[in-house]
Each structure stands twice: as structure tokens, then as C-alpha cells.
Amino acid sequence: MQGVHWPYPGSRWWKFDFHNYTPASQDTPWHKQSLNLSPQDWLLRYMAAEIDCVAITDHNSGAWVDQLKSAYAEMQSVAAQGQAPAGFRELTLFPGVEISVQGGIHILALFDPSKSTSDIDTLLGNVCYTGTKGDSNGVTTKGIAEVIQCILNSGAIPIPAHADKPKGLLQCKEGTKISVLDANTNDNTNDNTNASGNSNESAGVSNWPQCVAQHEKRLPRCWAAIPTVFKGKRYQAVLTPG
């Protein structure tokens, strides 16, 4: 990174919030109760929490991406003139979206900071989302494997949202380690039952959900290590299972 000023002695940690909603998501208090929240106020809340990077991941919508980027650019411009709004600090915005996928699975797509609302709209069109933007009242007509490929083709990073919780890719049936999703939904699962048709879960074979347990030895102990470079700075965040 020749010629880039790095003000920190060595490396440093960055606080990165991967999953965030704006009033564009219809299940938020701001939308339900018609509460007034400006893009600048939204940004200042994350600045107050000393977040360094934030992903904008509304339900099947990128409506607020351009608004937030414009508001931040205006705040930066004022700050450069020595008149920064109270509480202002640098914040890197990553455009993104939470997609409701066929089978009830939620997948995040995180884009480069240079991307915009139109890039989110293009992706939602490519995965054939059938519901209302900002809501989860529909799903994609494409399956999980196709959706992930569409995300990758768009230059974004796919991340399973709340992976082991409701609507997560690896959600298990209550009290078991059996995936609630079958092979036709996951598109990467195989039956892991014994000859009698009973699950191997009771034998304590693996701590992973059944849909991936057979590949446990090949699985990394994190869901994603996401490096990116923005304005000469390298960011990396690690998501761990559980």
C-alpha cells in the first residue's frame, strides 16, 4: 500500500456490524409506528456505538443504501470544513441485502462500498424475489445454490443470516442435530441415518447439524473471514459458529 497513510501503530481491530435494518424494512419500529428517523440520525447511532463498518441489510430491499451514502458524504464534507456534526466519526458503509430464499432461508449479500441501490435491485431481480421489497412476504423462485451463485456473480459476499436460528441455513429440529431443511431445499445435503432409519445424532457422532456433519473434518471453525480493502485500509472480520 505504497503512498497510503496508516495512522495506527501496526494492525488494529475494526468493529463491524454485519446485519442491520433501516426504516426500509417493514418489521422495524420506525416503519410500523411511522417514527421519524433521518439517514443522518441512523448513522449517528452507529457512530455513537463506535462502530467502524456497518452493512445495510434490509429485508429484500436496498432502498436506503443511496440515502445513507449521500447523508454520510454530506457529513464528511462538513467535517472536512471543521464543522463536523456532534458525534461524527468515520464509518464505512457496505451496501447489502437480506434475501428471503426459497425454503424459508435468509441469506445476506454484502457488496463493495462503491455499490448502490441499483446493484441491490439488480440482484433481487436475478434471484427472482417474488415478494414486497422491504418485507419477507415472498421468497425467491431460485433455490439456495442458485441464489448464492447469483450473489457471487454480482461481486458480493454471501453469508447465511442467523445460520443456526429460525430461517437459518443450518437450523436444527428442536432437541436434535437434524437439519430442518431437507436435501431438496439445501441442495447440498445427504441422509445421515443408520440402517434402521434412526438418526446417528443420538450416538454423538458430530456437534454439527446433520446436513454437514459428514464433512466435519473439512469444515473451518469459522463461517467467514471477510477481507476487503477500502481507501487503503484492510478490513477483516471473522464469523464463528454458535
Residues 193 and 229 in one domain: no
Judge whether 5 lies within some domain: no
> 3 lies in a domain?
no
pLDDT at residue 231 is higher than 60: no
CA distance 201 to 213: 10
pLDDT recorded at residue 217: 57
pLDDT for 207 equals 53
Q: How far is CA 31 from CA 58, 59, 137, in A?
A: 12, 12, 16
Q: How confident is the model at residue 5 (pLDDT cuts 50, 70, 90)?
A: confident
pTM for this structure?
A: 0.73
Q: What is the pLDDT of residues 8-40, one digit of tens each?
A: 888 888 899 999 999 999 999 998 888 899 999
Same domain as 143, residue 202: no
Query: Which tens digits make up the pLDDT trace of 127-150?
Result: 999 999 999 999 999 999 999 999
Query: Is pLDDT of 206 > 90?
Result: no
Mean pLDDT value of segment 60-79: 97
Within-domain flag for 177: no
Are residues 49 and 159 both part of a single domain?
yes
pLDDT band of residue 197 (cuts 50, 70, 90) is very low
Whether residue 189 lies inside any domain: the answer is yes
For residues 154 and 143, give the distance between their C-alpha atoms in angstroms, rounded to a whole number: 17
| Average pLDDT of the segment spanning 83-101 | 95
- Asked if 150 and 190 sit in the same domain, the reply is no
Q: Percent of the chain scored above 70 by pLDDT?
A: 73
Beta-carbon contacts of residue 133 (< 8 Å; ≥ 6 apart): 24, 60, 61, 63, 124
| 206 in the same domain as 157 | no
pLDDT of 110 strictly over 70: yes
Q: What is the mean pLDDT of the chain?
A: 81
Q: Residue with C-alpha cell 426504516?
A: 23
In a domain, 8, yes or no: no
Number of structural domains the chain divides into: 2
pLDDT score, position 118: 98
Residue 66's domain comprises 16-163+223-239
Say yes or no: 227 and 207 in one domain. no
Same domain, 119 and 20: yes
pLDDT in tens, 173-187: 888 877 787 655 544
Residue 218 has pLDDT above 70, yes or no: no
Grid cell for residue 52: 467502524
User: Quick one: pLDDT at residue 59?
Assistant: 97
Q: Do residues 144 and 187 both lie within one domain?
A: no
Residue 176 maps to a domain: no
What pLDDT score does 19 carry? 95
Same domain, 41 and 83: yes
Task: Tell me the C-alpha distance between 18 and 98, whole Å.
Answer: 11
Per-residue pLDDT for 222 more than 60? no
Q: What is the mean pLDDT of residues 113-125?
A: 98
Residue 210 sits in the same domain as residue 227: no
User: Do residues 123 and 81 both lie within one domain?
Assistant: yes
Same domain for 57 and 98, yes or no, is yes
Quick check: is 178 in a domain?
no
Average pLDDT, stretch 153-164? 95
